[in-house]
Structure 1
Amino acid sequence: SDHKMEPIRSRSLILPVGIVRNFEFVLTCICFSLVASEGHRNSSYWAWCMFTWCFCCFMTLFILILEFTRLNNKVPISWDDFTTAFAVLATLLLLSTSIIYPTIYACPTCIRQICASVVSWICLGLYAIEVWLALRRPGEISGFLSTVSGLLKILETFVACIIFTSLDPTKYNLRGLQWCVAVYSLCFIFALLIILLTIGRLVSAFPFPFDKLVTIYNIVAAVMYMTAVVIWPLYAFETYSRPINCDSSCWDKLVVVTFMTAVNVLVYIFDAAYSIKLVFFIRQE
């Protein structure tokens, strides 16, 4: 029986998605190795880039090991949901990193930084291919996180991570800015909780319709983000004006938070509208 299992195990590595994942693992490992060899940078953006490459590398290796040993069939979660959600999240993470790292740290004479940037863009393409391979087989992937609502939840958590990376907790002592940080944190926690409950197949344990609860959350989160998209720039730019000297990194971070808040308010509004249509109109038909 062991001899029969070997072809089954090796088959997971020679399928198109298996080949893509092997390249993902190797190239993300090369990325953080190149950047780590240049030394540590005291910057939240540098830490974000390193986290992205390390996270994608080790999570891809984890998926490869579980599928090769067939232990993924014994994991008490929706494996298809998990791998699809990770591929989408990794694509978004690498998109941000592939833009941030070369913009801030690469220069015409920085060979290792340029190589890391190029490899990061190749990794981005590989994870995008994995998403395409997963979503083009609707018969095999049917979970919540492969639907429009699930993908929007992943996007909402990703944008919140970019916002957290750009926040400087030592500067925001005004109540208006503290409210915005509370909005970002609460919405992030609940969106992540919805993802985890779905992957863990715990939705059926709720004594009330989970989809209606998510719809109510989407509406509340959209309203909260609407307040943040007004309050954040009003308080932030009034309190911390753009510096005259060249060191404007703090002000640039305020701009990033403002832009990402605007992006997330649009995502939450669309998510709320889509969930209302799905729960209260389409199902009634």
Structure 2
Amino acid sequence: MSTGVTHPNLDDWNTVCCFFRLPQLFSTCVAFSLVADMGIWRGNIGNWSMSIWCFCFAVTLIIVTVKFFDFESHFPLFWYNLSITYACYAAILCLLASVIYSITHVQFLPDGPLRDRATAATTLSCIASAFYAIDAFVWNYYWPEDIPCYVYTLPALLKVLETFVAGVIFVFLSNTSLYLHQPALEWCVAVYSICFIPTALAMLLKLGDWENILPVPFPIFQLGLTLLSVLLYISALVLWLLYQFYEEFGGQPQWSSDISCIDDLICTWIQRLAVAVLTAINLLIYVADLVYWARQVSIGTEDQPRDF
């Protein structure tokens, strides 16, 4: 990959993207401001949503700044790949914040200015998600056919999903009472971290076209990494279910056994269930990833970019 040459199509789209990034900045900034001004009515879900909007605003501002000062000319293709990947994550994050904030918080607010403010923030978050999605997917029509783009391949999509689901799991695990009382559950938390870090590293290697620095071919590296992740996630899913939902292991099998669930929609038992479901989902994604890389190793090829 050439790191010092740009392509006219990429330059054209980078200019067009400015018209999408300004609404991204505006919607995330205003959504954050509206909820921040709600005081004690923000709630924990409001604080979590604010952190997402603040993160998206900050990273988008960095991207705009890099474009304004033409810093991306020093590493154009890596920067464009990274920008598309970020847009994918931001679209999913803003959509997730919109859904969770509206379902678990906004609808329980009393009618009046506070609820109107929260509703407006949710709407702006949806708008931001739409603009990020446009930013991510319309790149495909400007990306030159002769230059590989990792983001538009099946393994890249799987990696995005794996890291995203793991990130949501970490949000629920911020409640340390879910696992600190049991070493087996602490192992589950370790599994999520062990699998997340190398998955993110593999994405970074591919985005920067640095996979040649590995001592083994990249498909074999990915196959071994994904197989390890599948085995670890199986252990995490089994242990989490046993120690959270079976009385023999100190778990709570029924929602009604958690008194806090009477008054709290996102009570501890629901959080335990959410982590179990997300663990199962990520395991399935890793299995799909394993099948993909097993196929690539067996036939000695790798899907070309823009395969979907």
- Note the C-alpha offset of 1:227: 2.3
Determine if contact 2:178/2:268 at 8 Å carries over to the other structure: no
Segments of 5+ residues of structure 2 without an aligned counterpart are 1-7, 303-308
The match for 2:118 among 113, 120, 125 is: 113
1:278 to 296, 302, 308: 296
Partner of 1:16: 16
Please say if residues 219 and 296 of structure 2, whose CA atoms lie closer than 8 Å, have aligned partners that are also in contact.
no
**Match for residue 176 of structure 2?**
169
Q: 3-state SS of the aligned residue for 2:238?
A: helix
Cα distance change, pair 72–169 in 1 and its aligned pair in 2 (3 A): same
Q: How far did 1:14 drift?
A: 8.5
Aligned length: 274
- Whole-angstrom distance in 2 between the partners of 1:127 and 1:76: 20
Please give the alpha-carbon distance, in whole angstroms, between the structure 1 residues aligned to 2:300 and 2:186: 39
Question: In structure 2, how many angstroms separate the alpha carbons of the residues matched to 1:163 and 1:212?
Answer: 28
Per-residue Cα deviation, 1:38-74 (whole angstroms, up to 9, x for no partner): 126562x434312211111111111112112211112
User: What's the counterpart of residue 65 of structure 1?
Assistant: 65
The reply to whether residue 217 of structure 1 matches residue 258 of structure 2 is no
Partner of 1:94: 94
Counterpart residue type for residue 227 of structure 1:
S
Match of 1:263 among 271, 275, 281: 281
> 1:32 matched to which residue of 2?
32
Amino acid at match of 2:160: I
Task: Name the structure 2 match of 1:4.
Answer: none
In 1, the alpha carbon distance for the partners of 2:240 and 2:206 equals 32
TM-score by length of 2: 0.81
Which deviates the most, 45-54 or 250-259?
45-54
- Pairing 1:128–2:171 present: no
Shift, 1:30, TM fit: 0.8
- Structure 1 residues 153 and 72: CA distance shift in structure 2, 3 A: same
TM-score (normalised: structure 1): 0.87
- 2:76 and 2:243 map into 1 onto residues whose CA distance is 46
Q: 5+ unaligned residues in a row in structure 1: which ranges? A: 1-7
1:223 offset after TM fit, Å?
Answer: 1.9
User: Distance between the aligned counterparts of 1:102 and 1:116, measured in 2?
Assistant: 10
- Deviation of residue 226 (structure 1)? 2.0
1:207 deviation in Å? 2.6
Task: Specify the code of the residue in structure 1 equivalent to 2:23.
Answer: F
Residue 212 (structure 2) aligned to one of 204, 214, 229: 204
Q: Are the structure 2 counterparts of residues 170 and 76 from structure 1 closer, same or farther at C-alpha, using a change threshold of 3 Å?
A: farther
Aligned to 2:155: 149
Identity of aligned residues (%): 33
> 1:136 aligns to what SS in structure 2?
helix
Q: 1:235 to 1:201 in 2, by over 3 A?
A: same
Q: CA deviation at 1:138?
A: 4.5
Other-structure match for 2:5: none
SS, match of residue 78 in structure 1: helix
CA distance in 1 between partners of 2:178 and 2:66 (Å)? 44
Deviation at 1:77, TM superposition (A): 7.1
- How much does 1:199 deviate? 3.3
- More displaced, 136-145 or 82-91? 136-145
CA distance in 1, matches of 2:178, 2:236: 17
Deviation at 1:255, TM superposition (A): 1.5
Aligned to 2:3: none
Determine if contact 1:85/1:151 at 8 Å carries over to the other structure.
no
Partner letter of residue 188 of structure 1? Answer: F
Q: Separation in 1 of the partners of 2:300 and 2:144?
A: 22
The residue that corresponds to 1:53 in the other structure is 53
Offset of residue 244 of structure 1: 4.1
CA contact (8 A) 1:229 1:258 kept: yes
Q: CA RMSD in A?
A: 2.4
Offset of 1:22 from its aligned partner?
Answer: 1.3
Letter of the structure 1 residue corresponding to residue 82 of structure 2: F
SS at match of 1:142: coil
